[in-house]
């Protein structure tokens, strides 16, 4: 029997609640498809700081490097907001991404027909939306030096090298070749030097992909166009901070940020996580939507383990569940037949797979 080693990082807030449901679903599908998943849990974030005084113990990095894939929930919380930067939960995640070389974060945004009324946007604007945000993940203003804050003055530095832009642009163009063959590169080239280099470099790479239609958009306009006419987009290629912001904005087309998965690739081993955070405002209540994490687990099966049938089964079961009207409270206002807890959604999806 095929067997895979999965590093599991549950994290903080709703992290453990949503990852537990993803594991429930993975167990059901691996049994059905005849492969074995060996999970090993690692600490990261606020929970790691509490346990060992470090948001990312070496063991977590080593264990992740030695796994076939990483399934991650979320980190962070009010409790750790005032810690020095190096000790904050967020630093743990940023270090993991950097150490593993995960420079490409793929965030697909699709609108389920079943949830078309769940979005705060109009059905006629969002019907059929299917786009992919390709976000650079290990560079830009998140990591640039110098960075400084003495209480009177503070700064960060947005830096991209040409090589960093080339490799993320290639991911975007390769993705577009498997989709609608359109790339919209989002920058702020009317103001920022780093964006001018970004734009010129993306133009160069585009020459190797003559079938792909390339456009450029300033990020402020892109934020507006995403809610005006999101169907104009196929692949959005952008830097670290713009991608972070635009993908949270785009999540509202789907109805809830609790529906959007992601994969982080390009390095030693793929990392799969929902795009949302630890949602401290609802943690511990059993009401978080686990679907983003379950879809991330499906992406893990598809892209890191090559278990395509299993991934298809998960995606199909989620679609069916939504068709039947089961919803967590974030989606409950709209056409919900049954309002469910986090655990119930996980069990319903797992049961569908087991009984199919
Ligand atoms: P957030 O994404 O955690 O929450 C934003 C809002 O969306 C909240 O109202 C929350 O309840 C809701 N929400 C998020 N996920 C949900 C889900 N699955 N189901 C239902 N509702 C959901 O963002 P925030 O509040 O700005 O940040 C909270 C903490 O999470 C911060 O410490 C932040 O740094 C951290 N964070 C971590 C990650 C990550 O681990 N990758 C991502 C984003 C934010
Ligand atoms: C995300 C989060 C992270 C980011 C934070 C927690 C460091 O917002 O994964 O989108 O900004 O990348
Ligand atoms: Mn984010």
Q: Across the chain, which distance is largest between two alpha carbons, in Å?
A: 62
Q: Are residues 92 and 171 in the same domain?
A: no
pLDDT in tens, 24-37: 999 999 999 999 99
Q: Cα–Cα distance between 163 and 314 in angstroms, integer?
A: 37
Point out the ligand nearest to the CA of residue 287: 1
pLDDT per residue, tens digit, the chain (356 aa), is 999 999 999 999 999 999 999 999 999 999 999 999 999 999 999 999 999 999 999 999 999 999 999 999 999 999 999 999 999 999 999 999 999 999 999 999 999 998 998 899 999 999 999 999 999 999 999 999 999 999 999 999 999 999 999 999 999 999 999 999 999 999 999 999 999 999 999 999 999 999 999 999 999 999 999 999 999 999 999 999 999 999 999 999 999 999 999 999 999 999 999 999 999 999 999 999 999 999 999 999 999 999 999 999 999 999 999 999 999 999 987 666 789 999 999 999 999 999 99
Q: Are residues 215 and 246 in the same domain?
A: yes
Q: What is the pTM of this model?
A: 0.98
Q: Are residues 248 and 312 in the same domain?
A: no
- Looking at ligand 2, which residue's alpha carbon is closest to its atom 11? 244
User: How close is the Cα of 241 to the center of ligand 3, in Å?
Assistant: 9
Q: Cα–Cα distance between 44 and 16 in angstroms, integer?
A: 12
Q: Are residues 249 and 265 in the same domain?
A: no
Q: Active-site residue numbers?
A: 142, 188, 220, 244, 248
Structural domain including 205 reads: 120-254
Give which of 316, 319, 313 is closest to 114, Cα–Cα. Answer: 319
Give the pocket of ligand 2 (CB within 6 Å): 76, 90, 93-94, 244, 275, 277
In-domain check, residue 311? yes
Could you give the number of structural domains in the chain? 2
Q: Are residues 33 and 98 in the same domain?
A: yes
* Total Cβ atoms within 10 A of residue 31: 14
Q: Check residue 332 and give its pLDDT.
A: 84
Q: In terms of C-beta distances under 8 Å and separation of at least 24 residues, what long-range contacts does 191-195 make, across chains too? A: 192/158, 194/140, 194/158, 194/159, 194/160, 194/239
Among 279, 328, 346, residue to substitute to test ligand 1 (most atoms within 8 Å of Cβ):
279
Q: Are residues 207 and 304 in the same domain?
A: no
Q: Are residues 73 and 136 in the same domain?
A: no
Q: Are residues 134 and 248 in the same domain?
A: yes
- Looking at ligand 2, which residue's alpha carbon is closest to its atom 1? 275
Question: Considering 228, 254, 280, which residue would you say is the last residue of a domain?
Answer: 254
Give the pocket of ligand 1 (CB within 6 Å): 14, 74-77, 90, 93, 257-258, 273, 276-282, 288-289, 292, 330
Q: Are residues 220 and 268 in the same domain?
A: no
Q: Are residues 83 and 18 in the same domain?
A: yes
Question: Considering 254, 279, 294, which residue would you say is the last residue of a domain?
Answer: 254
User: How close is the Cα of 251 to the center of ligand 3, in Å?
Assistant: 11
- Looking at ligand 1, which residue's alpha carbon is closest to its atom 32? 76
CA 323 to chain centre: 24
Give the three-state DSSP class for 341: coil
Give which of 95, 86, 194, 192 is closest to 140, Cα–Cα. Answer: 194
Sign of CA dihedral 240, 243, 248, 251: negative
Point out the ligand nearest to the CA of residue 283: 1
CATH number at residue 229: 3.40.718.10
Question: Considering 254, 277, 308, which residue would you say is the last residue of a domain?
Answer: 254
- Whether the Cβ atoms of residue 164 and residue 103 lie closer than 8 Å to each other: yes
DSSP labels, 107-145: EEEE--GGGTTTSSS-HHHHTT-EEEEEEE-SSGGGT-S
Q: Check residue 333 and give its pLDDT.
A: 75
Q: Check residue 247 and give its pLDDT.
A: 98
- Whether the Cβ atoms of residue 155 and residue 206 lie closer than 8 Å to each other: no
pLDDT in tens, 286-342: 999 999 999 999 999 999 999 999 999 999 999 999 999 999 999 987 666 789 999
């Amino acid at each position: 029997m095929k067997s895979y080693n999965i590093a599991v990082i549950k994290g903080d807030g709703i992290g453990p609640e949503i990852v537990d449901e993803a594991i429930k679903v993975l167990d059901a599908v691996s049994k059905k498809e005849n492969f074995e998943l060996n999970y090993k849990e690692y600490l990261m974030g606020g929970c790691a700081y509490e346990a060992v005084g470090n948001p990312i113990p070496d063991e977590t990095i080593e264990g992740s490097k030695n796994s076939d894939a990483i399934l991650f929930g979320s980190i962070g919380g009010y409790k750790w907001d005032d810690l020095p930067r190096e000790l904050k939960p967020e630093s743990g995640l940023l270090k993991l991404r950097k150490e593993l070389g995960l420079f490409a974060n793929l965030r697909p945004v699709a609108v389920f027909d079943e949830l078309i009324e769940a979005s705060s946007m109009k059905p006629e604007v969002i019907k059929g939306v299917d786009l992919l945000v390709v976000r650079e993940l290990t560079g830009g203003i998140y990591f640039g030096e110098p960075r400084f804050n003495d209480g009177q003055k503070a700064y960060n530095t947005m830096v991209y090298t040409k090589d960093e832009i080339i490799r993320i642009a290639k991911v975007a163009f390769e993705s577009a070749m498997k989709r609608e063959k359109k790339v919209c590169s989002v920058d702020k080239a009317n103001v920022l030097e780093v964006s001018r280099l970004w734009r010129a470099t993306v133009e160069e790479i585009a020459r190797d992909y003559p079938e792909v239609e390339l456009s450029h958009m300033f990020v402020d306009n892109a934020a507006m166009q995403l809610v005006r006419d999101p169907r104009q987009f196929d692949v959005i290629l952008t830097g670290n901070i713009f991608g972070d912001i635009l993908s949270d904005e785009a999540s509202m087309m789907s109805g809830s940020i609790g529906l959007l998965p992601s994969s982080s690739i390009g390095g030693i081993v793929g990392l799969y996580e929902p795009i949302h955070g630890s949602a401290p405002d609802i943690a511990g209540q059993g009401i978080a939507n686990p679907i983003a994490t379950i879809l991330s687990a499906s992406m893990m099966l598809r892209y890191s383990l090559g278990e395509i049938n299993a991934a298809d089964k998960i995606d199909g079961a989620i679609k069916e569940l939504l068709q039947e009207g089961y919803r967590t409270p974030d989606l409950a206002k709209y056409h919900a037949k049954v309002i469910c807890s986090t655990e119930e959604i996980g069990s319903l999806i797992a049961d569908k797979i087991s009984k199919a």
